Amino acid sequence: MGTSIPVVKAILQANQAVASENRAAFDRVGLLAVNLMAAPGAGKTSLILAALEHLPPALRVGVIEGDIASTLDAERIAARGIPVVQINTGGACHLDAPMIRSALSHLPLENLDLLFIENVGNLICPAEFDLGAHLNIVIASVPEGHDKPYKYPGMFQKADGVVLNKADLLGFLDFDLEAFRHGLRILRPDVPLFIVSCRTGQGMEAWVEWLLEHRRQQRERHGP
């Protein structure tokens, strides 16, 4: 028991060092990297695809897809003509910084403005591993219920933004939006919440504009 804590600390410190290298690589080319974290089925891939419908056509987007197995989500992204790299973790419940570093050589970073990193579907492990992304986004969905911030505080505490997906189902399911908001306020009083429906497009404009503003800030700091 006594040796496990130093081992875990060593793993996290090593991961953090690589994450810093990843972030520096993104900064060198003025690329905004966004880590998407959610439970399975919340709509990570759908959110990426919906964002593509609202982002400016000139904005150059790339994607890293993380899954335990299969290339199904990567194939959906590739069908849109978007550069995408698949990472299959083989059972691991999260991506880590070395996995991201290994994927970067397969992407044209110098020709990208925005990189979505779709983490493995999980509401616990991904929060512990910095990937080098500039923004950590947690996606929840109406069918999951309004109690997720209370049950998974570690994940929501790491969020720079929260997206509540499948808003078209509000009113049809037993989801208390105010209880969800209250849970977020307890953990992160100032975190922005975007209520969207990837199916209908509801709320996507505000979500995309927020991303674009962060992209503009990243370009001003690190250009081009």
pLDDT digits (tens, 9 = 90+) for 27-47: 999 999 999 999 999 999 999
Q: What residue ranges of the chain have pLDDT lower than 50?
A: 1
Question: So what's the pLDDT on residue 1?
Answer: 46
Alpha carbons within 13 angstroms on the beta-carbon side of residue 23 total: 15
Count of beta carbons in the 10 Å neighbourhood of residue 185:
13
Given CA atoms 26, 212, 115, 117 in this order, what sign does their dihedral have? positive
Would you state the structure tokens that stand for residue 159, as one six-digit string? 């969020």
Is CATH 3.40.50.300 what the domain over 4-222 is classified as, yes or no?
Answer: yes
Q: What is the pLDDT of residues 199-213, one digit of tens each?
A: 999 999 999 999 999
- Give the single-character DSSP code of 64: E
Q: Distance between CA 52 and CA 50 in Å, rounded?
A: 5
- In this prediction, residue 181 carries a pLDDT of 98
Judged on CB neighbours under 10 Å (0-12, 13-18, 19+), 208 is: buried
Closest CA to 206 of 219, 191, 196: 196
Q: Is this prediction's pTM over 0.75?
A: yes
Q: Which residue has the tokens 């509000």?
A: 170
Angle at 204 between CA 202 and CA 205, to 5 degrees: 110
